Amino acid sequence: MIIAGVDGSAAARAAVSWAADDAMRMHEPLRIVHAVDRDPYQFSRFHAWLELDVLVRVAQMTVSEAADSVRECQPDVEVSTEIVEGAAAPALCEQSKAAAEIVMGSRGLGGFSGALLGSVSLHVAGQAHCPVVVVRPGQESAHGEVVVGVDDAPECEPALEFAFRQAELRGGPLRAIHAWQRPVQLYAPQVNYDPDDITAAANEVVAARLARFRQEHPQVEVIEDVRRAHPVDALVDASARAALVVVGSHGRGGFRSVLLGSVSHGVLHHARCAVAVVRE
């Protein structure tokens, strides 16, 4: 099952459209979820609102409109709706335990209008039990490459599996990007530094990491792309021509269950297409 989180925002509407298309490709049912968070309204002046249960009525209208849009654009997708009580981020993380994928907008109705990414999106991407796709308005196109980041850590394999499957379902190419930077110690004048040697070694890393997935998905055209660049810069640059960027998250910090890795965090903020975060 694919779950789309909605709150009536433009980003949420884009996420529903993206989720409907992916549900069609994956032959999965789609559940549209809205969380009713009463905590901000627990003050005496809002009691009349709460007695009229305006929040629930707005929630019902929000999920109904989203479901109608799915039935219009993807009539063959089985769609259902659910209204849950509580804050949006924990509610979606709980839903993720039984989901194949969660799709959500980059920003909801709350927060700061100038923010690139909302706190709910960051929280869910860092804690969900399934892949999380974050969509901005205007980024729901199915056309273009699927881009995935590759490194020498085995933790990137779930992201590779997800990316290969997306490319296979879309019938498009997969661009596997490995970006490397000159190690700091190589700036010492006494160190013999050959960028061609590093590039050759990086090519071997990418080929080895992709070998199994090439065998399992032989119909996917794979472009091995090794660059001398920061990983965030390389992935964001490729996102301009992509339908989806897929990143893993191995968060090296002390709060691995809470914080995304720096690369996935940077790509989420700056990519020009939808971003899927696939945690190990």
Question: Would you kindly state where each structural domain of the chain is located, as residue ranges?
Answer: 2-135, 145-279
- Taking CA atoms, 124 is separated from 59, 115, 235, in Å, by 20, 17, 21
Q: Residue 183: its pLDDT value, please?
A: 61
Q: Please provide the CATH number assigned to the domain covering 145-279.
A: 3.40.50.12370
pLDDT of residue 188: 52
pLDDT at position 263 is: 86
**Lookup: tokens for 28:** 């999965």
Please report which confidence band the pLDDT of residue 253 belongs to, taking 50, 70 and 90 as the band edges: very low
pLDDT score for 143:
72
Instruction: Report which of residues 119 and 210 the model is more confident about.
Output: 210
Average pLDDT, the chain: 83
Domain spanning 2-135: which superfamily?
HUPs (3.40.50.620)
Share of the chain above pLDDT 90, in %: 50
The answer to whether domain 2-135 and domain 145-279 are alike in fold is yes
Q: Is the pLDDT of residue 44 over 80?
A: no
Mean pLDDT along residues 112-126? 69
pLDDT value, residue 199: 73
The pair of structure tokens assigned to 212 is 């199994």
Directed axis angle between helix 157-170 and helix 195-216, to 10°? 60
